[in-house]
Amino acid sequence: MRYLAVLDVTKQPSTPPPPALMEAIIALGEEATRAGVLLDTAGLAPSSAGARVAVADGEITITDGPFADTKEMISYALYDVRTKEEAVEWSRRFMNLHRVHWPEWQGAARVLRVMGPEDFGAAAAHDAW
């Protein structure tokens, strides 16, 4: 099963991330890659560089960022694991690196299951995807 862990920042210190944190993140990513569970990871630009495309009442609207009504998403990791608990554990380990190396920083990782054609039956897999 694939899970997307999205990192939201709720309190950003004025200082950059400590080098020890970045080294620990790289090491954890290498471990997850060797374990065959990390499919992709990257940082995300601030929402001010993005846009929201929405549909409501039959109309499509496009709004440029930033989006004050949401937490700022700053990165993601895509995992291929056997269980939700395994994806949560990788995310917990990632968040613990922040707790240890940059305690002033605050945020949350949302762990979301990525669904594909296989989740909707054979007919839907063939027709919809």
DSSP track, 25-71 = HHHHHHHHHHTT-EEEEEE---GGG-EEEEEETTEEEEEESP-TTSP
Give the model's pLDDT for residue 127. 55
**Average pLDDT in the chain:** 92
Q: What is the pLDDT of residue 67?
A: 83
pLDDT digits (tens, 9 = 90+) for 13-61: 999 999 999 999 999 999 999 999 999 999 999 889 999 999 999 999 9
**Model's pTM, two decimal places?**
0.85
